[in-house]
A and B are shown apart, each in its own frame.
Chain A
Amino acid sequence: MLETTENRNVEIMLDNVGMTYDAADGKKVQALTSVTMDIHKGEFISLLGPSGCGKTTLLRIIADLLQPTSGKVLIGGETPREARLKRRYGMVFQSATLYDWRTVIKNIELPLEITHESKSERRERAIKMLDLVGLSEFANHYPRQLSGGMQQRVGIARALVLQPEILLMDEPFSALDEFTREKLHIDLLKIWRKTNKTIIFVTHNISESVFLSDKVCVLSPHPGRLSAVIDIDLPRPRSMEIRDTPEFTALVSKVRNSFEGV
């Protein structure tokens, strides 16, 4: 294969990835059929689709939480398992999944405890991350004292503290109210610009995916499949107002019209 610039920048390569479950009645259920796609370094990709389209399945395959039944996944040339063992990705879940018994700062330090960093190193890096998500003054609060949006920001800080190249986000804002969500969109884009991570963002919200992403990967259900990849060529940095432009509206309709069989 020719080593083009394009190729070298591929961070995640999905080659004919498929996932088949055995249902209770003995039938095979196709959760995902042959997804092939390249994700480049520093890209913001959304996996968009209704429930049952396999978007979370695909994310979980990349995260090594599921083994695909066919096809191949390479993350920086390595298998998902190798990538996980080297902590090359950070994960953000739908619920913030903070540990109640730890203060905010201790929650962010958790991954560093697992990798056996020294106490001072842990504190220093956690403070930096807390700064990045704008929650410095809440370091010693417990998660229960924070609002849902703040909890999710702590979750992002925790995912970034090991400085992974990739951030995997599984519907992170879907449980938040509209106001908080729009605020977090702006925050997330700022964090992304500062840190240059590759972000894979699972969502079922069309406008969210258009607002955030470089590319929206549209997945359709029954069977789960990649039905379109739509480039979002809106200028960056993006502000809230961009949602009111005709270009934004046009992209939203384009994405909406690319679904099949919903």
Chain B
Amino acid sequence: MKLVRKITNSKLFFTFIWIAALIIVWEIFAYQVEQTKRTPENVLPHLSGVVDSITSDKKINGSQTAFQMVMENAGATLSRAAIGYVIGIALGFILALIMSLSGIVEKVVFPYLMLIQIIPILGMAPIINAITKDIAVSRIVIAAILTFYPVAANTLAGFKAVRRESHELMYSYSASKFQLYTKMMIPSCIPYFFTGLKISAPMAITASILVDTLQGGLGLGCLLSQSLKGAMTRYVFWDIVFFSAIIGILSFYFIGIIEKLLCPYKKLEQKGR
């Protein structure tokens, strides 16, 4: 009994169940598709087919295997996503700071931020491309734009969640505005800031792939559209789907690990009063 409880309490157990369920559901649908379509990989291939295409030695464009191609293009896309992500984080944080310092700025700027979020990326991309005149730069800018809102909104929420007594404490010590922020406001909003980072990390990656499809060159999105247009085997498309899903999830956990390192106090249990 004790062992059963230990297993059901463990995180690994649920991850296992979750993956198993995903595989079963996938395979059921793949089987259905196989019965009705002549080229099932265009709709939903068996997982074994996807695994085969990743591990296969077959050169699909004369010099590279599917796996090598995905990796090379992933490097380009992910580095753009990462640069955009970092820029977006910096901008988001600075903007949240300014909005927290000035209520007027917040009232004026915040609606614009929401507006930027409402415009579809694919609609925004040509405009940004026209401004930057460089597709690689626009891809970075778009990753930054998508990162920036969750970071700004969450960080601002963190600044606002500071308790009145925390403010009064700093006031009673006649702390300067600079001290107020460096000693109290910024450290106390770090968990909120990280929530923003965790939300926007997969978004930056997805957006980069999506924006890749707009023009050619190196990038997962370019490869993806070539595969969809039939320029190479459809399995490349599925490889990319799996690869980006895994990277997206890993990016989320990676940020979580950094947060745990920076905020060792967070995992501590609150003791009973």
Binding site for B on A (CB under 8 A): 63-65, 84-85, 87, 89-91, 93-95, 97, 99-102, 110-111, 113-115, 142-149, 162, 175-177, 180
Contacts and interface: CB of A to CB of B under 8 A. Distances in A.
Interface residues of B, number: 27
A144 B271 contact: yes
B169 interface: yes
Nearest to B265: A142
Nearest to A142: B265
A162 B173 CA distance: 9
Interface string B178-206: 01000110011010000000000000000
B192 to A, nearest CB: 13
Given A65-B168, A114-B179, A148-B273, A101 B174 contact: no
Contacts of B269: 144-145
Interface of B: 163, 165-166, 168-175, 179, 183-184, 187-188, 190, 263-266, 268-273
B268 A85 contact: no
A99 B187 contact: yes
A247 B28 CA distance: 83
B166 A97 contact: yes
Contact of B172 (A91, A99, A115, A146): A91
A97 B169 contact: yes
A94 B66 CA distance: 63
Say what secondary structure dominates the interface of chain B.
helix
A101 B261 CA distance: 12
A115 B172 CA distance: 12
A58 B74 CA distance: 64
A89 B263 contact: no
Nearest to A150: B271
B183 A114 contact: yes
Given A97-B165, A99-B184, 18 more contacts: A63-B172, A65-B168, A85-B174, A87-B173, A91-B168, A93-B168, A100-B188, A101-B190, A110-B173, A113-B179, A114-B173, A142-B265, A142-B268, A143-B265, A144-B268, A144-B270, A147-B273, A148-B273
Contacts of A99: 166, 184, 187-188
A95 B273 CA distance: 11
Nearest to B179: A114
A115 B174 CA distance: 9
Contacts of A111: 173
Contacts of A65: 168, 171-172
